Amino acid sequence: MFQKIIEERIYSLLILLIMVCATASMVFPETFPTFENFSQILLNLSIDTIVAVGMMMLLISGSFDLSVGSVVAFAGCLAGLLMITFQMPVPLAICIALMGSIVVGFINGYLVAYKGINPMIQTLAMMGIVRGAALMLSGSGVQNLPYWFNAIGQSKLLGIQMPIWYMLFTVIVFTFLLNKTILFRQFYYIGGNEKAADLSGIRVKRMKMIGFVLTATLAGVAGILLSSRLGAALPTMGRGLELRVITAVILGGASLSGGYGKIPGALLGALFMGIIANIMVISRVSGYWQEIILGIILIGTLWLDKALQKKYSSLT
Amino acid sequence: MAHLKLDQISKKFPGVKALDGVCLTVFSGEIHALCGENGAGKSTLMNILAGNLQPDEGTLILNDKTEIIHNPHAAFDLGISIVYQHLSLVDSLSVAENIFANQQPVNTFGVIQFNELYTKTESLLQQLQLTEINPRTLVSRLSPAQKQMVEIAKALAKKPSILILDEPTASLTEKETQALFTILKKLKDEGISVIYISHRLEEIFLLADRISILKDGTYQGTFLKHDLKKDDLIKRMVGREINALKIESHLQEEVLLSVKNLSGNRFENISFQLHRGEILGFAGLVGAGRTEIARAIFGADNFETGEVMLENQMLNVTHPSESISKGMAYVPEERKALGLFPEMTIQDNIIVGKLTNALRGGFYNSERAKELAIDLKEKLRIVAPGVQQKVNNLSGGNQQKVVLAKWLLTNPEVLIVDEPTHGIDVGAKFEIYEILKSLAAQGKGIVMISSDLPELLGICDRIIVIKKGTIAGELSHAEATEEKIMALASN
Amino acid sequence: MRYRIVALIALFFLVRCELPSKNETTVVNETNDDIQEKEITNEEYVMVTTAVTMPMYMNRDQKAFIRWGKKMGVKISILGPVEWDVPAQINVIEEVIGTNPTGLLINGTDPAIAQVINKAVAAGIPTVVYDSNIPNANHHAFLGTDWYEIGIMQGEEMAKLINGKGKIAYMGILGMSNMEAGFRGLLDVLKKYPNIEVVGKFDSKASVEEAARISADLISAYPDIAGICGFDGPSGPGISLAVKEAGKAGKIKITTVDGEPEHLQLVEEGTIQLLAAQKRELFTWYGAQFLYDMVHHTNRLSQNDSKARITSVPYHVNTGLLRITKENVHQFMNVQEK
């Protein structure tokens, strides 16, 4: 049991989360442990988490994608433009926007997997290109999106905002896929040893491409949800999202070298960051300090994790 | 005079007692061989000497002074230099910069003096009779054997008083091995203590003055070379007598794999046939193109012309996944880099061969995967606490069995094994031969690439000798001898 | 049977699904949470902006707000993301609403924050928006400048500076609605001058280096370029740097925004010809004061302002622009020390 907690980041992070929440509830008994506050925290991290699920999958397979933040903006702006300027029906606009995201993922995946371009460089370049495209499409953003489009992100089910449901749905579906389907399990092997995976009969290139396409698709979904929630599509959406998401995923147990990680870890990592940010807002920590504190927490958590693992392995 | 003395050294790892009260005395000016199966604790002992690990118990006495080696730098200061089995060179730097890593000659401002660096390197390489290596060449351009020699030069550049070599000849050719031995003997005459680790018993008897034996982390004694017979050594290492290879052919008439005029990168015009039940050996020097041929047949690399037929069917494959589904399997030479997922479990490493076998009701079932893995673990006698163990923690022999287990899962018709016993201890070697033989008995065809001639001579029905990418000759089991193979391979 | 259960569950979920209200502008809350009846406990005013560490925001908006808090002896807090990230600003506002502050001072960064402003108002929190106004939002007051006017002021001055003819370019942070309004103002003026050719609109990405790089490229591509207009703070020093390096200071006319010390310096030495600066200190000082006056009923205009659907402070304040040229630049220097 103890070993499991130490070895699986999911469990150690969960314990840390509970400890943080318990402390915060004692310090801010009126503002922190309320239903409203928690549904707000979850709502605020739902978009990040949907992207983080894709990123977790990519990190498991040993690559990552810096262009997701730009894809969020691109998908939202493309859908907005189609609905407002071209008066397209909502479902069609959403489909086209998702197709656009898939194309971005396809280009990333093709160039990384088949042409051997380093994922960092490829997706960094794509980040700029796609952000530029979002700006070109929407100028200063598209306002007054149609009612039914806004209903996607602003409705509630059982008193809980829809984006939270979408997030949970995404996490559950991808947890299932990565645990229970052969196709998705191959990501672990690719991340574990790409060359050995290829010689074991795994179509590494094709799988990498699938990883990039799915990540971009999830980013597209997140972009549509975000603009629906805002009621507007802004080209500045998702700025800095890529690093936030990678941070959450690393906190959630992924490794930059691949092979490690579980999908629920993406949710827990995002939740941890969301709760820390929420506590800082509640305790009125000035904005200047937030990034510094988040950085320290990230380093501290990973260091603690390493130290515990070392300690544990020396015990036995 | 005792130069180095280890007294009652013990070291524990999670679940294993790697060393248990080991004593060892090394004299100045001797070549001291250290023998033992993989997992016997040789590497742990070497890592303690190199400062990578700290012993839990015991003392280390160097020149009559008790020393504690906290880190590799401290080992360096004490004059202990180690040549690792796994290369520690940086591919993107020159030979000279690798050899003098961290101790480049500098001027008063700390700027590297490249001219001096190159001349120093040149003279060092000359001492080692490595005149064909230019100090300015990037390490990535060197052959595996040359890299190994540079690794040795790097260790000597530190002017050690104790030189430790861990399987230095694994990737060396005969000629280079001889050169290395000459150097080692010269070092010995200069009063340097050499600790030599190898699986190749012939070498040990050729080179060593004294031989120490480890088994399962315990010290089995030190012997003068003349007092020890080979069989005796094996018995002490393995703890049981190993039957000499028994030849028992399972060769059948039917042609299983037929390769015609295959040409590609680094090989040309390769034609041969593999029959059911046959073990076909591929001999040749390192770099002769054997691995390239195997990879092309398996579909891991493209070939230019020629054809491969499996059971009279054209094998047109562009990716290993296709050849695997048609009944091929390939065990690569570099086990850790190409064959295994080191950070994953035994179970994951085995089931990857055929993930569909773990399906239950259309979905991956890890219980099912576990059953299959446990079954194969027992069949192949993989020594590990459980199938959830990371393969990284296993010995080389058990790792190789995991790779074989993966392929048993796919039930292949043709199995290509590339240096299957490279760096594996004697006991495990024989178990792997047994596995290969039992596959042949089931009517499978096996292509075995190996640089270990006794092994090829022992179990192959037929041996094809490859030289510079072409077939230099073919020898039947009856006519093959080491001399004949070497003559074909090197002329 | 199983299908029936599934159908029942689906129906249940469908019934429990609440759609957002169709007409958001009419959300007026008349619950007990009303400003009127609220007792003032733990008086605290919270400012939520985005890009919280942007130097101009820190030196002007936030400094004035902090000064106001000290003078009034009340607690103030400044929150928001470090990046220019509107959704993150919205998230912070949402979380702040839950903590029930005395008053909210919100930087009107984008029309998309309308919803969360309405949520704050509905929760009974006095809410003031500054800088850019937000359409379709129910905030109690707004203080700011009309960015369109900034464009007009720059356009007219530029036309005069280059005698109504020549090539000009302009830059700002693309994708921000206030900047786009400024661009519109500029272009509307320039339309009247057929001899002025606009060679391009560029994204300075809120960075001095980027503005300098774009300007340097412009100067080599159009050696006869007559003027460059900048709409974000960093573009002034950026354009000036490139123009000076090309040895064309004073020859290529520059109009831009903001009155930070480095901008003023550049006006004084004659590199920048016009600054259209905002009175940012007034945004937050009076914005906070409005909140205070609302909460303390400094000027009681009705029995219950919320029920009367009024606010007791000015609804819309245009603080106007500072027009800074070489003639008056000295008056703006070293103001803080005085």
Does the pLDDT of residue C297 top 80, yes or no? yes
Per-residue confidence (pLDDT) for residue C32, from 0 to 100: 40
Q: For residues A287 and A192, which has the higher predicted lDDT (pLDDT)?
A: A192
Contact state of A198 with B352 under an 8 Å Cβ cutoff: no
Q: Residue holding tokens 């598209």? A: A142
Please give, rounded to a whole number of angstroms, the shortest distance from the CA of A78 to a CA of chain C: 14
Per-residue confidence (pLDDT) for residue B38, from 0 to 100: 61
Contact state of C85 with A286 under an 8 Å Cβ cutoff: no
Does the pLDDT of residue B322 top 80, yes or no? yes
Contact state of B352 with A189 under an 8 Å Cβ cutoff: yes
* Residue C24: both structure tokens together: 């958001």
Does the pLDDT of residue A179 top 50, yes or no? yes
**Nearest partner of B209 among B192, B219, B224, B198, judged by Cα:** B224
CA B350 to mean position of chain CA atoms: 21
Across the interface, of A36, A139, A143, the residue whose CB is closest to C111 is: A143
pLDDT band for A211, please (50, 70, 90 cuts). Answer: very high
* Residue B448: both structure tokens together: 């075995």
Pairing of strands C17-18, A156-157: antiparallel
Per-residue confidence (pLDDT) for residue C29, from 0 to 100: 45
Q: For residues A287 and C285, which has the higher predicted lDDT (pLDDT)?
A: C285
Residue A233: CA count within 13 A, CB half-sphere: 35
Chains touching chain C, criterion 3+ CB pairs below 8 Å: A
Does the pLDDT of residue A258 top 90, yes or no? no
pLDDT, one tens digit per residue, over B450-461 is: 877 778 888 888
pLDDT, one tens digit per residue, over B374-390 is: 888 888 888 888 888 88
Mean pLDDT along residues A121-131: 91
Does the pLDDT of residue B237 top 80, yes or no? no
Per-residue confidence (pLDDT) for residue A225, from 0 to 100: 92
* CA–CA distance, A160 with C331 (Å, rounded to integer): 56
Per-residue confidence (pLDDT) for residue C152, from 0 to 100: 93
* CA–CA distance, B146 with B127 (Å, rounded to integer): 15
Q: Residue holding tokens 């041929």? A: B293
Contact state of B344 with A316 under an 8 Å Cβ cutoff: no
Contact state of B320 with A180 under an 8 Å Cβ cutoff: no
Chain C residue nearest residue A287, CA to CA: C79
Per-residue confidence (pLDDT) for residue B225, from 0 to 100: 80
Contact state of A278 with C95 under an 8 Å Cβ cutoff: yes
Q: ∠B278-B428-B338 over CA atoms, to 5°?
A: 75
Residues whose CB falls within 8 Å of the CB of residue B199, separated by 6 or more in sequence, listed in order:
B167, B423, B424, B425, B426
Per-residue confidence (pLDDT) for residue C25, from 0 to 100: 45
Per-residue confidence (pLDDT) for residue C23, from 0 to 100: 54
**Nearest partner of C117 among C37, C57, C29, C176, judged by Cα:** C29
- Examine chains C and B and say if they touch (3+ CB pairs below 8 A): no
Contact state of A193 with B341 under an 8 Å Cβ cutoff: yes
DSSP assignment of C82-145, as one string? SSS-HHHHHHHHHHHHTT--SEEEEE---GGGHHHHHHHHHTT--EEEEES--TT---SEEEE-
Please give, rounded to a whole number of angstroms, the shortest distance from the CA of A87 to a CA of chain B: 43
Q: Cβ contacts (< 8 Å) between A140 and chain C: which residues?
A: 174-177, 179-180
Mean pLDDT score of chain A, rounded to an integer? 87
Please give, rounded to a whole number of angstroms, the shortest distance from the CA of C192 to a CA of chain A: 24
Mean pLDDT along residues B253-264: 87
Q: Is any Cβ of chain C less than 8 angstroms from the Cβ of A158?
A: yes
pLDDT band for A233, please (50, 70, 90 cuts). Answer: confident
pLDDT band for B91, please (50, 70, 90 cuts). Answer: confident
Burial of B101 (0-12, 13-18, 19+ CB in 10 A): middle
Per-residue confidence (pLDDT) for residue C68, from 0 to 100: 93
Q: Is any Cβ of chain A less than 8 angstroms from the Cβ of B411?
A: no
Pairing of strands B16-27, B31-35: unpaired
Q: Which residues of B177-194 are buried (b: 16+ CB within 10 A; e: fewer)?
A: bebbbebbeebbeeebbb
CB-CB contact of C126 with C140 (8 Å)? yes
Per-residue confidence (pLDDT) for residue C28, from 0 to 100: 46
Show which of residues 295-354 on chain B sit within 8 Å of chain A, judged by CB atoms.
298, 300, 319-321, 324-325, 330, 332, 337-344, 348, 352-353
pLDDT, one tens digit per residue, over B104-145 is: 777 777 777 777 788 888 888 887 777 778 888 888 787 777
pLDDT band for C336, please (50, 70, 90 cuts). Answer: low
Chains touching chain A, criterion 3+ CB pairs below 8 Å: B, C
Lowest mean pLDDT among B300-309, C18-27, C173-182, C313-322: C18-27
Mean pLDDT along residues C184-211: 89
Contact state of B356 with A182 under an 8 Å Cβ cutoff: yes
Per-residue confidence (pLDDT) for residue C26, from 0 to 100: 43
* CA–CA distance, B166 with C48 (Å, rounded to integer): 64
ipTM for the predicted complex comes to 0.82
Mutation choice for C interface testing from A31, A90, A150, A239 by most C CBs within 10 A = A239
The continuous run of DSSP H or E covering B215 comes out as strand B210-215
pLDDT, one tens digit per residue, over B275-291 is: 898 899 998 877 788 88
Q: Cβ contacts (< 8 Å) between A278 and chain C: which residues?
A: 95
Strands in B255-264's sheet, in edge-to-edge order, are B267-275, B255-264, B305-310, B313-314
Q: What is the CA radius of gyration of chain C?
A: 24
Pairing of strands C141-144, C127-131: parallel
pLDDT, one tens digit per residue, over B39-48 is: 678 878 888 8
* CA–CA distance, C323 with C320 (Å, rounded to integer): 10
Contact state of A236 with C112 under an 8 Å Cβ cutoff: no
Q: Cβ contacts (< 8 Å) between A291 and chain C: which residues?
A: 82
Alpha carbon separation from A266 to A222, B5, B343 (Å, rounded):
15, 53, 21
Per-residue confidence (pLDDT) for residue A316, from 0 to 100: 46
Does the pLDDT of residue C30 top 50, yes or no? no
Q: Is any Cβ of chain B less than 8 angstroms from the Cβ of A286?
A: no
Chain A residue nearest residue B349, CA to CA: A189
Residue B301: CA count within 13 A, CB half-sphere: 17
Mean pLDDT along residues A96-108: 94
* CA–CA distance, B345 with B343 (Å, rounded to integer): 7
Contact state of A158 with C13 under an 8 Å Cβ cutoff: yes
Mean pLDDT along residues B359-368: 85
Q: Cβ contacts (< 8 Å) between B331 and chain A: which residues?
A: none
What angle, rounded to 10 degrees, do the helices at A162-180 and A35-60 form?
30
Mean pLDDT along residues C142-151: 90
Please give, rounded to a whole number of angstroms, the shortest distance from the CA of A43 to a CA of chain C: 9
pLDDT band for A95, please (50, 70, 90 cuts). Answer: very high
Contact state of B353 with A201 under an 8 Å Cβ cutoff: yes
Choose from A258-262, A291-295, C90-94 the range with maximum mean pLDDT: C90-94
* CA–CA distance, B471 with B449 (Å, rounded to integer): 13
Q: For residues A179 and A314, which has the higher predicted lDDT (pLDDT)?
A: A179
Per-residue confidence (pLDDT) for residue B158, from 0 to 100: 80
Q: Is any Cβ of chain B less than 8 angstroms from the Cβ of A195?
A: yes
Mean pLDDT score of chain C, rounded to an integer? 85
Contact state of A193 with B340 under an 8 Å Cβ cutoff: yes
Across the interface, of B342, B359, B366, the residue whose CB is closest to A193 is: B342
Please give, rounded to a whole number of angstroms, the shortest distance from the CA of A158 to a CA of chain C: 5
* Residue B46: both structure tokens together: 């070497």
SS3 of residue B110 by DSSP: coil
Q: Cβ contacts (< 8 Å) between B319 and chain A: which residues?
A: 198, 201, 203
Burial of A204 (0-12, 13-18, 19+ CB in 10 A): buried
Please give, rounded to a whole number of angstroms, the shortest distance from the CA of B370 to a CA of chain A: 14
Please give, rounded to a whole number of angstroms, the shortest distance from the CA of C46 to a CA of chain A: 9
Per-residue confidence (pLDDT) for residue C170, from 0 to 100: 93
Show which of residues 252-271 on chain A sit within 8 Å of chain C, judged by CB atoms.
none
Does the pLDDT of residue C37 top 60, yes or no? no
pLDDT, one tens digit per residue, over A22-55 is: 998 888 888 888 888 888 889 889 999 999 999 9
Mean pLDDT along residues B260-280: 88
* CA–CA distance, B166 with B198 (Å, rounded to integer): 7
Q: Residue A29, Cβ neighbours under 10 Å: how many?
A: 10
Q: Cβ contacts (< 8 Å) between A313 and chain B: which residues?
A: 14
Q: Cβ contacts (< 8 Å) between B324 and chain A: which residues?
A: 200-201
Contact state of C18 with A156 under an 8 Å Cβ cutoff: yes
Does the pLDDT of residue B240 top 60, yes or no? no
